[in-house]
Structure 1
């Protein structure tokens, strides 16, 4: 049974309130931004056919779940500086958090196959490395053979604790972060090396051949731009998660609490920044967002005009005198005859 106490907490209260504020902020903007991205991608017929859309939808859906489930829990946790969700969720929380980092994120940025460039790594091999690193990283603490899942009273976190003085946390970060990063960087290097060689070949052709080759190359230019955008997303992921990896590896005893708090905030931001990169880095994705907002605006205008018409109709109907009132009037209260008719008579 987890004891809700703040006596052993080493994180300053002011920094915990700041982290709680960022968690709420990331929850609001992360849910709205990622949800809009999913709808925009699904409604865009052009983007649905593109090779990168499946990867981006997977990444965006993962970020949406993270902002919807994990961020509210982090906000409450840092606000109260204790774990208030019970023993069972304390066992589940670190598994979800670490599996999200190890399994999902790095490999969502793997290079794509396009018409003019492709990586040396096959999708099948990538998936094998993907699953193997995840299973290898999380098996030992789950089985209690090397560390164990539990509650740390000093950092009020449900995480991987030491068992018999040993913990696999450093190993998990190294295997789950550095290994896929190395593979993906190597893959992107192959892509841009291929592009560089193609440019060199174009310069050796005669003018007619060069023009034909350039036309073919520029038809696929959007593929290259999207590949570059995927690289930018991957680099942003590294920048967000690198501080968390550094403090967990090199400050295992939490000598610098402030660094751990800000490293966590930095890691959370990775689930929020991707929609911004999509909008800035690709005109196709900007158009998808733009079309979605136009549809939303049109829908709101249609509903607003419909409500106004209904109100106007009700108002006009209220001004007509009811037939029952006319029937109840006495004969002397009827419509008066025209005075000109009386004079003519």
Structure 2
């Protein structure tokens, strides 16, 4: 097959126009296919391991972990149901999987991206309420409310694509310029791409940035108050040594400090996840806007690979930034699968790694006293 000829099966429209993929060198496309395959394998293993780890060590789980599980499931589905077709596209430079999959695959791709970003936004809001409005936390994050939030993230991400799926606001079809299936204008020239980008990307991203600005302000103010309190204690050492009340206050402050540090580690981890999401999605967006005619193919391929890497990078962040997650991964790999029965019975897995996580979590379970304002 010539590089400039695009072949399709099952009534996918044929175009004489050279696609974006046809402008890439064979070596570059082969590299992209292999790299995407590696990303897919890492993403499948890493996200599945994260879900199993959080389920196997119940004492590690908290509200944020529920949203992290949702995020991992979305990334796992992206790796399992979208990336194989990306590999095929890089390898064959065409779409050869039929009309039905040409509609389904971009539907899944856009939906999983939406779920991922909304999950990150929900985790960030969780951190914000924990830190800035702690008195609301118990009322907001009840089990049924958490389930409704997760359900909303999935239904909204996929539901807003229904008009495109049925062809009344753009349509999912083969895009000859991209050389793959995506959102294309419908018979009236309408497309949902811009609206999806604004609603499902810009709005959650702005919400996340606003929440983090507020989080940093509250944490900074809290640290200032803590330093002033410590200075006042050092200025009156006799009172501290002779007063039982002050000793209890000091112990309480130490517990709160440990809890605050633990929660701050989780908050920083979520910020790293969001920043990695931006880093992974920004290059391909810039490439599409500034190099629409593909004068620099390497830039586009790098953008695609970063986009796909967003589905496997989060477990790596968990390992690097959180010791509890590292121990939970060790427990997931070491505990027999039969121990999963302990998830419902209350008998936790007894491997040293999991028990280490349980003991460490118990020492930082004073979250109710986190950052008293």
Is the Cα contact below 8 Å between 2:50 and 2:315 reproduced in 1? yes
What is the aligned residue count? 297
2:257 counterpart residue number: 217
- Give the superposition deviation at 1:162: 2.9
Residue 75 of structure 2 is aligned to residue 56 of structure 1: no
- The match for 1:65 is 77
Structure 1 residues 51, 10: CA separation in 2 closer, same or farther (over 3 Å shift)? Answer: closer
Alpha-carbon distance in structure 2 between the residues aligned to 1:295 and 1:132? 34
Q: 1:47 to 1:96 in 2, by over 3 A?
A: same
Residue 323 of structure 1 corresponds to which residue in structure 2?
none
Establish whether residue 160 from structure 1 lines up as the match of residue 183 from structure 2: yes
1:242 Cα deviation from its structure 2 partner = 1.3
Measure, in 2, the Cα distance between the counterparts of 1:30 and 1:190.
Answer: 32
1:44 corresponds to which residue? Answer: 57
Tell me the alpha carbon deviations over residues 305-334 of structure 1, each in whole angstroms, 9 at most, x when there is no partner: xxxxxxxxxxxxxxxxxxxxxxxxxxxxxx
**2-structure distance, mates of 1:183, 1:153:** 35
Deviations 1:135-183 (A, max 9, x none): 7963553353443221023422111113455533233223321211110
Residues 250 and 115 (structure 1), Cα distance of their counterparts in 2 relative to 1, 3 Å cut: closer
For the Cα contact (< 8 Å) 1:17–1:79, is it kept in 2?
A: yes
Give the TM-score, by structure 2 length.
Answer: 0.69
SS of alignment partner, residue 174 of structure 2 = strand
1:262 aligns with 2:330: no
2:12–2:98 Cα contact (<8 Å) kept: yes
Distance 1:284 1:21 in 2: 33
* Residue 233 (structure 1) shift: 0.9
Task: Find the aligned partners of 1:129 and 1:248 in 2 and give their Cα distance.
Answer: 30
CA contact (8 A) 2:111 2:158 kept: no
The reply to whether residue 83 of structure 1 matches residue 123 of structure 2 is: no
Question: How far did 1:7 drift?
Answer: 7.2
Match of 2:226 among 186, 197, 202: 202
Contact in 2 for aligned 1:240/1:266 (Cα 8 Å) = yes
1:172 alignment counterpart: 196
CA contact (8 A) 2:111 2:157 kept: yes
Structure 1, residues 74-114: CA drift from partner, whole Å, max 9, x if none?
A: 11121111112110110111111112222333433432248
Paired residues of 1:119 and 1:191 also in contact (CA < 8 A): no
CA distances 1:212-245 after superposition (whole Å, capped 9, x unpaired): 4343232342112111111111111111111223
Q: Distance in 1 between matches of 2:269 and 2:30?
A: 34
Distance 2:325 2:149 in 1: 26
Instruction: Map Cα deviations across residues 116-139 of structure 1 (whole Å, 9 max, x no partner).
Output: 614699788988996897479635
**Distance in 2 between the 1:17 and 1:61 partners?**
28
Structure 2 match to 1:2: 12
Contact in 2 for aligned 1:119/1:187 (Cα 8 Å): no
Unaligned runs of at least 5 residues, structure 2: 1-10, 234-239, 241-245, 340-373
Distance 1:257 1:5 in 2: 21
What is the CA RMSD across the aligned residues, in angstroms?
3.4
Residue 39 (structure 1) shift: 1.5
| Greater mean alpha carbon deviation, residues 250-259 or residues 92-101 | 250-259
Say if 2:77 and 2:112, in contact at 8 Å, map to a contact too: no
Q: Which residue of 1 aligns with 2:326?
A: 286
Contact 1:16–1:79 (CA under 8 A) maintained in structure 2: yes
Alignment of 1:245 onto 2:257: no
Q: 1:236 aligns to what SS in structure 2?
A: helix
Gaps of 5+ in 1: 300-345
Secondary structure at the aligned position of 1:9 is classed as coil
Equivalent in the alignment of 2:348: none
